[in-house]
Amino acid sequence: MIRTTPFYERLDPMNRTGLYGHWSGYLSALKYDMSAKDEYFAIRNSAGLFDTSPLFKYWIRGKDAERFLAGVLTRDIRLCRPGRAQYTVWCDDGGYVLEDGVFFRHSETEFFLTAARPNLGYLADLVGRLDVQIEDVSEDFGVLAVQGPRSRDIVATLTPDVAELPYFGLRQTKIGSAPVTVSRTGYTGDLGFEIYVGTDDAIPVLDAVLEAGAGRGLRPFGEEALLMARIEAGLVLIDVEFGSSRLAFNDHERITPKELGFGWMLRGIEADDRPFIGRNAIRRELAEKTSRWAMVGLLVDWQHYARLYNDAGLIPPKDETPLSYESMLYDDDGNRIGYATSLMYSPMLQRHIAMARVRPDCATLGARVNLEVTINHEYQTVGAEVARLPLFNPSRKTA
């Protein structure tokens, strides 16, 4: 039987479409209103509310919790102070990415993990003799993401102490009488907050958020709007930009952190004495420059795109719905040099954009690549320019 989140009873009547996807076994609204684009604009211009409760959630506690995680996670968790959160990946010993998630450090010895896939078994098997307790609390919390330029006004109305929360900061506080954790995190690339609340308090907290957002343009948004925002924000998605190495049949299905665009997580690992799973393979990859791919953004040549369609007698489509398949990339000689993993028309940037994987020698910023599109049932290529991710990066996100 499909499950529902702790916010479902209040959010479901707001869903005029009846459209839901199944996300980790839960009903998750695809959109609440007839236009996902309308919801997307709430994220970019006022504020949107997303029920992100289906994430898996774990407490990782104990005297040795930091030591344990430092040995498992690719990014150095020791740099994450209490009151801060850290986005990271963890790899297998071949240096390939298993999964990603966000660790919220509540204290020296307490970490809270949210991840897209279940991880209790994997993590627990690695504890050994360390003083670490891992608890699956996935069903004990609801999570509300409040995202957009007005999100700070809305959340600070309920709990003023979050007004000064830095990017990736977190704070335990109260909304009404309900204890909550509020973090300055999200999956939209905009100013945004996430509110973690115990299941029993979920509805009163949601009601308080909705009330604070009334007149400020707050509206719930579904997965479709979220996926538009995350592509503009250059945020990778499991099963789209990468899959777990543990579940791969071959290395084509695997990817290293460097290849996934996470070179920044690896800074200093050559000199660092921190052993972690996959370190040796990653060091080798960096030293021998064996990365197969580089993660880049693409800005499609709008003039070329319009000309191709106009010449074909068609109106150039500008659809903000991300394509659900890979689009191949070629160099000027017709050699395949990579593929776009996520491609969409960005209403904010007013052009087609993509997250893409290209051969490292083709990843120079400003380099021109040729992106495959289908026009009148035939393959054609449209020019695109390699650009730095994220393609949309408002200063308010981190300010």
Partner 1 sequence: MSKSREYDAIVVGGGHNGLVNGAYLAKAGLKTLILERRHLVGGAAITEELVPGFHFTTFSYALSLLRPDIIHELDLVKHGFMPILMASSFAPMENGDYLLLGPDSDENIHEIARHSRHDADAYERYEHDMARVCHAVKPLFDKVPPNLFGKSPEDLEGMADLASHLRGVEPKVMHDLIRLATGSAADFLDDYFESDIVKGYLASSGIIGTKVGPFSQGSGLVLLYHSMGEHDGNFGAWAFHKGGNGGFTQVLARAAQAYGAEILLESPVDTVITREGKAVGVALGDGTELKADIVVSALDPRRTFLELVEPRELPAELVENINRLRFQGTSAKVNFALDGLPKYPALGDRSDQYRGFVNMGPSMEYLERAFDDAKYGWYSKRPYIDGAIQSVVDPDMAPPGKHVMSCFVQYAPYHLKGSDWDTERERFADTVQATLESFFPGFGDLVLHREIVTPLDIERVVGLSEGNIFAGEFFAPQMYFFRPAPGWSQYRTPIDGYYQCGSGTHPGGCVIGAPGKLASQQILRDRSTKG
Residues that bind partner 1 (CB under 8 A): 16, 33-35, 37-38, 41, 44-46, 150, 214-217, 302-303, 306, 310, 315-320, 345, 347-351
CB of 196 to partner 1, least distance (A): 26
Nearer to partner 1, 335 or 350 (CB): 350
CB of 326 to partner 1, least distance (A): 23
Nearer to partner 1, 303 or 376 (CB): 303
CB of 194 to partner 1, least distance (A): 22
Euclidean distance between CA atoms 331 and 329, whole angstroms: 7
Q: How far is CA 55 from CA 63, 64, 116, in A?
A: 26, 25, 5
Reading the block at residue 183, the tokens are 């973090």
- Verify cis geometry, omega within 30 degrees of 0, for the bond prior to 390: yes
Euclidean distance between CA atoms 301 and 335, whole angstroms: 19
CB of 145 to partner 1, least distance (A): 19
Q: Which of 150, 55, 165 is nearest to 181 (CA)?
A: 165
Alpha helix stretches (DSSP H) within the chain: 8-11, 36-45, 65-72, 120-124, 151-158, 202-213, 223-232, 279-288, 302-311
CB of 319 to partner 1, least distance (A): 8
| Sole residue written with tokens 């150095």 | 76
Nearer to partner 1, 35 or 109 (CB): 35
Nearer to partner 1, 60 or 146 (CB): 146
Nearer to partner 1, 16 or 81 (CB): 16
Phi (first) and psi of residue 46, to 5 degrees: -135, -95
Nearer to partner 1, 34 or 163 (CB): 34
CB atoms inside a 10 Å sphere around CB 71: 17
CB of 40 to partner 1, least distance (A): 8
Nearer to partner 1, 144 or 391 (CB): 391
Q: Which of 4, 47, 15, 55 is nearest to 210 (CA)?
A: 47
CB of 320 to partner 1, least distance (A): 7
Euclidean distance between CA atoms 362 and 147, whole angstroms: 35
